[in-house]
Amino acid sequence: MNISRIFLTGFTVAGVAFGSLTSTFSQATAQVYVPPSALVFHNLDSLSKAQVNWKSLPTFNKKSSYTNKYTTALNLGTRICDAFVAVQGKDQNKFADMATTVAGLSGKLGANIEQALNDKMFALVKQGKWAEVRTMLDDQQTTVKEKLNRLDKDAAILVTIGGWLEGLNVVTKSLSSNYNADATGIIRNPKLVEYLIGELNSLSANAKGNELVKEMTPKFSEIKNLVNIEKGKPVPQENVKKIYEISSALVKSIEGAK
């Protein structure tokens, strides 16, 4: 999806770690940064039998006030993803909503975004310069994640988790209504899910005690099993629908939290 490369130290996992794209891991030394824009949304557009209606896939939730940093971080991840979805759909209003919400959530975690940068992106959006907007958004979110890595490792991990879940939700929602065997390679990456499970396990005791984190941890193992398909074979349609059900429920819990 257009969110998302997850950068690991020295390596790149493209596509919010979905994919048929090559991934290399170093669990012991990996450092995860904010997912910047990549190729997955473009690939989904290219492989789908019908044009993807990006505007209909996320909720574009504008809520930016939550009671604790763990919930805030997970929601920041989902809104980062949705900002990239808005760029993919060339939706000026939704992009403005998500960029503003991302700035609010980032600020609450101490990783402030300069308003001047958002203003510059808004001006580019009005000019229809979406490629430039995507590049700026990539850079901005990488900077935010680098700040979070210095400030709070738990928050940094949960931003990545939230963004990945929303990306998975968006892709599987599209594939559930417009199944294409070739396109399912985008989500066939059990090693990436295994890596994210390791990240969840590395959280502090306080973070692991968060209700949202406790809800999602066992679900990641289910997702891993559902995408653990032999190389070269498609993810079955029933698996795609089940992944969508899981990811959709988790994203709903994240965005609806207090």
Q: What per-residue confidence (pLDDT) applies to 18?
A: 39
68: Cβ–Cβ under 8 A, 6 or more apart, which residues? Answer: 210
Q: Per the structure block, which two tokens stand in for 207?
A: 């973070």
DSSP state of 5: E
Per-residue pLDDT of the chain (258 residues; tens, 9 = 90+): 333 333 332 222 223 333 333 233 333 334 433 334 445 666 676 666 667 888 899 999 999 999 999 999 999 999 999 999 999 899 999 999 999 999 999 999 999 998 999 999 999 999 999 999 988 998 888 899 899 999 999 999 999 999 999 999 999 999 998 898 988 988 888 988 999 999 999 999 999 999 999 999 999 999 999 999 998 899 999 999 999 999 999 999 999 999
Q: What per-residue confidence (pLDDT) applies to 145?
A: 86
Q: Which residue matches tokens 């207090």?
A: 258
DSSP state of 28: T
CA distance 257 to 123: 33
CA atoms within 13 A on the CB side of 14: 11
Q: What per-residue confidence (pLDDT) applies to 54?
A: 87
Phi and psi at 7, nearest 5°, equal -90, 125
Single out the residue of 255, 250, 192, 252 nearest to residue 217, CA to CA. Answer: 250
Q: What per-residue confidence (pLDDT) applies to 214?
A: 96
pTM over 0.95: no
Specify the number of domains making up the chain.
1
178: Cβ–Cβ under 8 A, 6 or more apart, which residues? Answer: 48, 49, 50, 52
Q: What per-residue confidence (pLDDT) applies to 25?
A: 34
CA distance 175 to 156: 29
CA distance 182 to 33: 29
Q: Per the structure block, which two tokens stand in for 95?
A: 């992009």
CA distance 256 to 110: 22
Using DSSP, state whether 75 is helix, strand or coil.
helix
R_g of the chain, CA atoms, integer Å: 17
53: Cβ–Cβ under 8 A, 6 or more apart, which residues? Answer: 89
Q: What per-residue confidence (pLDDT) applies to 183?
A: 87
CA distance 109 to 106: 5
CA 141 to chain centre: 12
Q: Which domain holds residue 92?
A: 5-255
Q: What per-residue confidence (pLDDT) applies to 231?
A: 85
CA distance 169 to 46: 19
Q: Per the structure block, which two tokens stand in for 192?
A: 């990436």
